[in-house]
Amino acid sequence: MQIYLVRGVSLGAILLRVALSALFAAVIGCERSSKRHSAGLRTFILVSIAGVSAMLIDQWLMVFSGVKLPVLSAAAVVGMATI
């Protein structure tokens, strides 16, 4: 039984997106923390999950409330750029 949260996107697909983004961010974060950069593992995972969450919420808003622009994702990108 598939649970669709957004048109055509199931709960499993959402969890896969979050897990893959955390995995890729962990790889990049481990590499950066091994070279003693200021932004390391936790920072990259936090930013990655925040970006995926903003994108998924924007998709949901565009489908169910009629919002035409991905405003939340744009604000998240600006916020993450300041980190």
pLDDT value for 80: 72
Residue type, position 13, single letter: A
Q: Supply the DSSP symbol for 1.
A: -
pLDDT value for 4: 61
Question: Could you report the average pLDDT of every consecutive run of 10 residues in the chain (83 residues)?
Answer: 63 88 92 79 87 85 77 78 73
Q: Which long-range contacts (CB under 8 A, 24 or more apart) does 50-58 make?
A: 50/76, 50/79, 50/80, 51/21, 51/76, 51/77, 51/80, 52/17, 52/18, 52/21, 53/18, 56/6, 56/14, 56/17
Q: What is the spatial distance between Cα 36 and Cα 31, in angstroms, rounded to a whole number?
A: 9
